Structure 1
């Protein structure tokens, strides 16, 4: 699998830095924690290490260029232990505003790395308390994916898109880094034929119209779209939320159920 390494936060208030020197070249094989580049902020010289072992496939900046924080710095080919065929993956370079690192497979599906967002002022890491979905499971937009714990609160991380979870990058109890990949999700590629998309929208509309009066099957307890607070409330009231229908978006359970 080819992945873009996203330049992380390297100092409070720092949004860009000068690429002083590359310590590796394209085609080099690197090991985890090996120094990759020296960058200079207005405060200090910072050395950027490799979070994964692999082969450097592309350096996105030349010496002396200004590199942008949260934008790709380089790409690396790493061992892929998911069910995705690495021969079918093509890297897709994204702009600095992109929230995910994405690759497009030959099947027309897009595999995106969900980057753990800022979850509190000054927080740079958090504990992965629990995965609420397993690898291989299908999820809907806004469905809770993981519970993480900062030094201030328990935070639930939702899915930004519907798709299939293909990889967890952390195990329970590990420390997850802010702005680093938390999980990978396979979604439908946005590069689809317009007429086919329109046909799909018509079919969806017709299906929705014909099924308006059909009952909605409740989700199972393990997949209930509910926050930890709602789950605790349901348990305290001895309510199995799998037996009732959530009233929120996508069947999400609220305190009003």
Structure 2
């Protein structure tokens, strides 16, 4: 029986995800919940487990493709749990063009949209961990046509190992970039695969008739700026790829009028200069997608929806730093990573008990203010893919050592790009540690749906009035932004003062619990 797995919603209404890489290939045998792909949502990179145990018959999307939720991404050949043989389950397949099964439909109640079968045939829902239901509005699986990859794309994409299994190709295996005629079982939904062009070494300048010249986007832009038709340029790169030097040589002398003032030696794979004609890119363009796109939209929505107010407080944190040093030297805290952020996070959790208004949300839909009796503490983390704010669930119930462990795990996971969508949703208040970059203060933007965010500045030695004299003390600036619809100035000021008091005099916490 052939079953399709359609891309599920990987977190809070996300509409699309990008296929980063496949961990399996056509013809591979996989088990239930085995990781088959790595995808990037607007919030995080997620490993996608298999919903079935069976054989991969088709991969419908290549790495780098952005896929809408609910669209098929992979097909499986699985055992028929209903007692029918695979051939009996697909009697109409021979009458359909290309061996495609006709009149496929999802099951009704509780369908995940992950499988298809003949109309009227009962289907069993897979037990896939981590996903909710994903069903097309019509209740029928409709496969989106996919465009063939541009010539040469298969040579550069990491899908090269995806579409060819190790060893001798078996039924359903794609080899050398083309599907073997009749190799797939009847009824298999096979995604079209772009043919891999033969190595192109033309005898004369230019690409063969009907073939689009192969080059990279920066080279195409360079050719356009210089008025060069790439079809007339002979490529000297791998498989006839047209390089920057090829374009410059074509116009003669490697001169580039607009960019000649920015010469820089280009480097080849061995790190040596590639020639005097090479020039530095004047612009680097990066597609706006994934985490960066989501963060930008969220920050714009937050900045223009919630009226922000930011207050600042500079505190003598010498007692807190002394306490931190004693804790690190204590056997009870051996092996734990304690930092100033750990103490600030604990101070925030304690201060929220006296100022619960800052742990709330403005609900426009119901016209209500929702105050939370728990704290999911968000920690802003800078990652290679952009800013993320994963949160520690029920942080208010954790001890200092538990909080330290949670902070360490959260930041390491975020920087590795492995934060799950669940860890990125449901935050109630956030902290951003700008002090690690040597910054003293700022005006942080609220994480959407939260009432407050605290920016923690760097700890610096500064002259301070201490016991009637001027002394060199360790100071830190705290910057609190809050939603003025939810939090009045008095409430925000009291909260910030409480956090500062705990850091200035840790013993005062005994009067606050």
**Given the two structures, how large is their TM-score scaled by the length of structure 1?**
0.40
More strand by share: 1
More helix by share: 2
- Structure exhibiting the larger radius of gyration computed from Cα positions: 2
